[in-house]
Structure 1
Amino acid sequence: MRAAKGGLRVAMVEDQPQVGGSCTHLGTIPSKAFRHQVRQLVRHRRNPLLQGVTDLPDVGWPQLLSRVSDVIGAQVQVRSGFYFRNRVQVFNGRGSIAGEGRVRVNDTHDREWLLETRHILLATGSRPYHPADVDFSHPRVYDSDTILSMQHTPRNIIIYGAGVIGCEYASIFTGLGMRVDLVNSREHLLDFLDAEISDALSYHLREQGATIRHGEEYVAVEPDEEGVTLVLASGKRLRADALLWSNGRSGNSQNLGLETVGLEPNGRGQLQVDERYQTQVPNIFAVGDLIGWPSLASASYDQGRFCAGMLCGDPVRQVANVPTGIYTIPGISSLGPTEHELTEARIPYEVGQAFFKNLARAQITGERTGMLKLLFHRDTLELLGIHCFGYQATEIVHVGQAIMSQPAPHNTLEYFVNTTFNYPTMAEAYRVAAINGLNRLRR
């Protein structure tokens, strides 16, 4: 859209039947729609007004799929409208680079198109990593793409890989009442998070019924007609109705004709780019999961927009200060360094905390689990980090993000103390946490 608004002629090549990419059809939108529905079910069951009601609806995975399909359809309609109104021609088919400034498209009607252009922008995303010794064609073995087509509700499920995707699906499945074995090859869940937030997530996943197994590596996956056995290097044999493999992703760089222009992806299928998102070949650019970190839909949107803007004459911009949003139940969001990182850097910091159980809004909604943690410089009061776990975490973080981006001296805790927040709201947690932190300095 930025390129079209900037006066460039734009063609979009999409090898799926509908526009939207993995974000709309396989990743962000479906998983978050599932999560929302399950969270509504959990709240429904916990509602004190419904205690003792015996005819509550029995909702399983297939029932959730129908609602998710509605959301995906709405997203496709919105995006298709963008292309139509801005005269962006969409070629439904498989595209590949056919030399400098050329893209060959084999469309769904067995026609071949040769598009000539000044600039090629690759935004082909990523796919779940598939080790060769795991049979993903077996109906009991799923990845984060194929799980969306599961037509039954397992009583128990093994999730191999406890990254963001694995933890999000563990929350969804436990919310549906499944018994979950979450197998983590590391020693802590999501160890890039603040340790207190990671510990809180571990506690609540276990409280919801998940069994977390840290420091485990698989040896074999043995599916049969009745279920799946996961054999671990420690000697354990885990048995469940189904297995969700969520151990890494690879960039979609295969069969793109990269060899025709001398481009070679790394071992994870990703391309290297410079500050302009340009590859080693002039006028070929890449964004999103195809270039690796941070591999977030939010960042990918901006990378594409900044790259297109640069082609239209805008100053070079790069995505920076991207907040982490993890849609577990409860959710997690963070921005800036953790306590461990500040300690390692020898930065004198202090902590301000607000526990949701003490907030009027959380008491009203019944969402008392969670906390907001602010890390700030002891001398200047500069806001250094925001770490949130609980209800509306991925929304709340943006209040602090706006203050962190301000120039000194407007990026300090004093903003939260001197600003009147609506009451009762979850955003009020910033005032509570700021006062808590300042009180620590006055001891």
Structure 2
Amino acid sequence: MAFDYDLFVIGGGSGGVRAARVASATGAKVALAEEYRMGGTCVIRGCVPKKLMVFASEFNEAMSDARAYGWDVPDGTFNWLEFRGKLHAELDRLEGVYRRLLDGSNVEIFDARATLKDAHTVTLSTGQTFTAKHILIAVGGRPSVPEMENAGLGITSNEIFLLDELPKSILIVGGGYIACEFAGILNGLGVEVTQYYRGEQILRGFDGEARGLIADQMKERGVDLHCGVNILSMEKQGDQICVKGTNGVEKLFDQVMFATGRSPNTQGLGLEEVGIKTGRKGEIVVDEYSQTNIPSVFAIGDVTDRVQLTPVAIREAMAFVETVFKGNPTAVDHELIPSAIFTQPEYGVVGLSEEDAAAKGPIEVYVASFKPMHHAFAGRSDRVLMKLIVCADTRKVLGCHIVADHAGEMIQMVGIAVKMGATKEDFDRTVAVHPTMAEELVTMKAPTRTA
């Protein structure tokens, strides 16, 4: 059978664009359909705009520090509309870059929604139908909103970048990394931030000691954080939203933001009609090569709900091309992936938490917690956490946790060592870089505790 394309990619995010470009470079005839904007969650409504907002929010504290260091710096005021204009101009530029990369790779672009008709056919919202030898689904995910009355009064991380003005007050609902990141961002921009999380501590699944320190530091910076609390009801009152919490508090907010998880973007995609298996959350079930139960259809990125990180989606895209178009079956290694959470303070992590490591066998835990020089001189009470989890038998470093400014930059380097199987003695043999925060990672000689 002759197909219109060797590969049809559904979704123009980081994973889909990379797969399309690299597959085309092998000589394959490739098309890609994107219904919204090229770049996906990361570029348009996720990592990139969020990180730019993180940068913006940190200047308030930086100006205070500058005065402590002898600079005559007046109190500044943040102009949201000026920032938002520059932010969207940057996103437009990046979207243009993605389009030019695809054009330069001879990938045919369709600005339309694509759905599956059968194992080798896609239908576009324009009415066009195309066949392809292989179909790759890379449609990502979307924010989830709880099922409750008047939930539509709230916004999500998608809308936060589009606000016409910053609210004076906001309630953020959730305790994951998105909720905690935006609590820090908006607090830094001068918004009165309240955060409700139904669990006992924020950042569930991460290291308990790190979670506790981040929660304490968030509160100290001004975030009104309440764990063990959820929304009972919300209703419009004038220009504000009246929220009743399970803690018995009734309070008015200018905005309510739900950061209560993300769901795979599989609704209305035609998966059921084609017979593609999905999981409990609607995620597409794939094997280690990103192949679905329909041999011609593959899926990568957040839509598979494996590891929801942009670099992982890109790795999965590269592995897909190696497997399908280069005849080199390649499975993605999802173990020991370093990551950063851009809370304030920042959190970098690779490997196991203390709790998870202890459940697997005997461990040694090395911890350093201290006031960093920069903050101590400025009179701030912020503390840094450096933590290594070590297997007592093999001496391998099973996990590293850093809560500090620029923790993301540090954990990228540590991730290389941990991925290589470095032992605690390898860390010990490394000469410290002084004076730095990171030197603590190689100067902790005695375990703080064992488990």
The TM-score with structure 1 as length reference comes to 0.88
Q: Which of 362, 366, 371 is 1:357 aligned to?
A: 371
Specify the alignment match of 1:207 in structure 2.
Answer: 220
1:271 Cα deviation after fit: 1.3
Q: Distance in 2 between matches of 1:362 and 1:75?
A: 35
Q: Distance in 2 between matches of 1:388 and 1:67?
A: 32
Q: Distance in 1 between matches of 2:131 and 2:269?
A: 16
Which protein, 1 or 2, shows the higher relative CO under an 8 Å CA cutoff with sep ≥ 6?
2
Specify the alignment match of 2:352 in structure 1.
Answer: 337
Specify the alignment match of 2:24 in structure 1.
Answer: 4
**Change in CA separation of 1:350 and 1:210 when aligned onto 2, cut-off 3 Å:** same
Is 2:407 the counterpart of 1:393?
yes
Specify the alignment match of 1:403 in structure 2.
Answer: 417
1:53 Cα deviation after fit: 5.2
**Change in CA separation of 1:314 and 1:425 when aligned onto 2, cut-off 3 Å:** farther
Please give the secondary structure, in 2, of the residue aligned with 1:48: helix
Letter in 1 for 2:410: I
* Identity in percent: 25
1:366 Cα deviation after fit: 9.2
Map of 1:254-265 to 2, 5 A cutoff?
Answer: 254-263=267-276, 265=278
Q: Distance in 2 between matches of 1:274 and 1:398?
A: 28
Please give the secondary structure, in 2, of the residue aligned with 1:274: coil
**Change in CA separation of 1:260 and 1:431 when aligned onto 2, cut-off 3 Å:** same
Map of 1:299-378 to 2, 5 A cutoff?
Answer: 299-312=312-325, 313-320=327-334, 321-345=336-360, 347-355=361-369, 357=371, 369-378=383-392
Specify the alignment match of 2:121 in structure 1.
Answer: 102
Specify the alignment match of 2:248 in structure 1.
Answer: 235
Specify the alignment match of 1:157 in structure 2.
Answer: 170
1:292 Cα deviation after fit: 1.1
Q: Distance in 2 between matches of 1:366 and 1:319?
A: 44
**Change in CA separation of 1:15 and 1:378 when aligned onto 2, cut-off 3 Å:** same
Please give the secondary structure, in 2, of the residue aligned with 1:256: coil
Corresponding residue pairs, total: 427
1:353 Cα deviation after fit: 3.0
Specify the alignment match of 2:426 in structure 1.
Answer: 415
Letter in 2 for 1:96: T
Q: In terms of mean alpha carbon deviation, does 144-153 or 234-243 score higher?
A: 234-243
Q: Distance in 2 between matches of 1:3 and 1:41?
A: 45
Is 2:290 the counterpart of 1:277?
yes
Letter in 1 for 2:32: M
The TM-score with structure 2 as length reference comes to 0.87
Specify the alignment match of 1:73 in structure 2.
Answer: 92
Letter in 2 for 1:373: K
Is 2:408 the counterpart of 1:432?
no
Please give the secondary structure, in 2, of the residue aligned with 1:303: helix
Please give the secondary structure, in 1, of the residue aligned with 2:194: strand
Please give the secondary structure, in 2, of the residue aligned with 1:342: helix
Q: Distance in 1 between matches of 2:377 and 2:248?
A: 48
Q: Distance in 2 between matches of 1:348 and 1:264?
A: 39
Q: Distance in 1 between matches of 2:375 and 2:120?
A: 56
Q: Distance in 2 between matches of 1:294 and 1:76?
A: 24
**5+ long unaligned stretches in structure 1:** none
1:333 Cα deviation after fit: 1.5
Q: In terms of mean alpha carbon deviation, does 18-27 or 43-52 score higher?
A: 43-52
1:328 Cα deviation after fit: 0.7
Letter in 1 for 2:55: H
1:55 Cα deviation after fit: 4.3
Q: Distance in 2 between matches of 1:280 and 1:424?
A: 54
Please give the secondary structure, in 2, of the residue aligned with 1:265: coil
CA contact (8 A) 2:365 2:390 kept: yes
CA contact (8 A) 1:218 1:231 kept: yes
Q: Distance in 2 between matches of 1:340 and 1:325?
A: 19
Calculate the aligned-residue CA RMSD, in Å: 2.6
CA contact (8 A) 1:399 1:427 kept: no
- Deviation by residue 1:282-334 (Cα, 9 ceiling, x = unmatched): 11111111111321222222122212221122232123122232111111121
CA contact (8 A) 1:392 1:426 kept: no
Q: Distance in 2 between matches of 1:59 and 1:39?
A: 11
Please give the secondary structure, in 2, of the residue aligned with 1:145: helix
1:7 Cα deviation after fit: 2.7
Map of 1:20-59 to 2, 5 A cutoff?
Answer: 20-48=39-67, 55-59=74-78
**Change in CA separation of 1:131 and 1:412 when aligned onto 2, cut-off 3 Å:** closer
1:164 Cα deviation after fit: 1.0
CA contact (8 A) 2:23 2:30 kept: yes
Please give the secondary structure, in 1, of the residue aligned with 2:235: strand
Map of 1:192-203 to 2, 5 A cutoff?
Answer: 192-203=205-216
